[in-house]
Chain A
């Protein structure tokens, strides 16, 4: 289940917040083994084809994967670290297209500090909303309406 934090202060002390996604991704990218889902995200979100060895072909030409959009970097980090419950990944920089993909995931911890609703989502999908002292299971439609904050 996706666990959603809406405030940094609610994140448990033993968890590591990946707040600056660009910087974290760029640090890890040089030694990252991209898989099929990563390259699918690159194609879907950035229209980029992965060429191997950290390079990709985009509409602007050939460049390094460190130039991917932040939304795409979020998805790749979630793909690699999302199932590790020690990490909480900030999705605040995701555009609507990346956000749609985030809420298709089955299991990850995310920080969403302001309300940014995906364009398409499974309204009945359940998420766990974490607050300072309480946890609440909500459907996505409840979360994006009355459950927010």
Chain B
């Protein structure tokens, strides 16, 4: 997926079922989450969750894990992951290999998600070339 986010370009190159996106505060992780959330408006195969969404689910007496279990062949995007993913959800996502889902997880804690260098990428922003890039750890961390 190649995207234009304001005046920046972004190539969303997903390698594995789970892509964990790390990076410094302020680099633009939540901006990319908001972009994907906006795309989910008319795309029923994109589902986005962050702290605000979880708070809304709780008010509606809905369970996050039950909600996630309903998704198939979807792109599931999770922001604030280190705060909103509990152990049960982590285990579910970590073993969710038969339903055709792909996950983008903005966070740093890979516990129970079985993430390795193959699916952890650092988000880097270059203000000169106006570009966001994912640097996968297995390729070595390069600057743009």
- In the complex the two chains form, is A72's CB within 8 Å of B83's CB? no
Whole-angstrom distance from the CB of B49 to the nearest CB of chain A? 13
B25 in the interface (beta carbon within 8 A): yes
Please give me the residue from chain B that is nearest to A91 by CB atom.
B82
B94 in the interface (beta carbon within 8 A): no
- Indicate which residue in B5, B55, B82 contacts A93 across the interface (CB closer than 8 Å): B82
In the bound assembly, the distance between CA atoms of A72 and B7 in angstroms comes to: 23
For the A-B complex, the count of residue pairs with Cβ-Cβ distances under 8 Å equals 76
A19: B residues at CB distance < 8 A: 83
Instruction: Of the listed stretches B9-17, B26-34, B39-47, B62-70, name the one at the interface; the rest are far from the partner chain.
Output: B26-34
A22 and B80 contact, Cβ closer than 8 Å, known pairs A69-B30, A114-B108: yes
In the bound assembly, the distance between CA atoms of A48 and B127 in angstroms comes to: 13
What number of A residues sit within 8 Å (CB to CB) of B?
29
A30 in the interface (beta carbon within 8 A): no
- In the complex the two chains form, is B52's CB within 8 Å of A60's CB? no
For chain B residues 47-83, which have a beta carbon within 8 Å of chain A?
50-52, 55, 80, 82-83
In the bound assembly, the distance between CA atoms of A95 and B27 in angstroms comes to: 9
- In the complex the two chains form, is A70's CB within 8 Å of B80's CB? yes
- In the complex the two chains form, is A93's CB within 8 Å of B111's CB? no
For chain A residues 16-55, which have a beta carbon within 8 Å of chain B?
19-23, 45-48
- In the complex the two chains form, is B83's CB within 8 Å of A60's CB? no
A93 and B26 contact, Cβ closer than 8 Å, known pairs A20-B55, A116-B108: no
A79 in the interface (beta carbon within 8 A): no
For chain B residues 73-117, which have a beta carbon within 8 Å of chain A?
80, 82-83, 108-109, 111
Whole-angstrom distance from the CB of A141 to the nearest CB of chain B? 21
Please give me the residue from chain A that is nearest to B130 by CB atom.
A59
- Indicate which residue in B7, B26, B50, B51 contacts A71 across the interface (CB closer than 8 Å): B26
Please give me the residue from chain A that is nearest to B109 by CB atom.
A114
A92: B residues at CB distance < 8 A: 82-83, 108-109
- In the complex the two chains form, is B83's CB within 8 Å of A98's CB? no
A21: B residues at CB distance < 8 A: 83
A90 and B25 contact, Cβ closer than 8 Å, known pairs A22-B52, A23-B52, A114-B108: no
A108 in the interface (beta carbon within 8 A): no
- In the complex the two chains form, is A23's CB within 8 Å of B26's CB? no
- Extra contacts, 5 of them, besides A22-B80, A23-B52, A114-B109 (Cβ < 8 A), are A60-B31, A69-B27, A98-B25, A98-B26, A113-B82
Q: Which residues of A contact B (CB under 8 A)?
A: 19-23, 45-48, 59-61, 67-72, 90, 92-98, 113-114, 116
Q: Which residues of B contact A (CB under 8 A)?
A: 5-8, 22-27, 29-31, 50-52, 55, 80, 82-83, 108-109, 111, 125, 127
The 9 closest A-B pairs by CB, nearest first: A71-B25, A95-B25, A46-B26, A98-B25, A95-B24, A69-B26, A114-B109, A92-B82, A69-B25
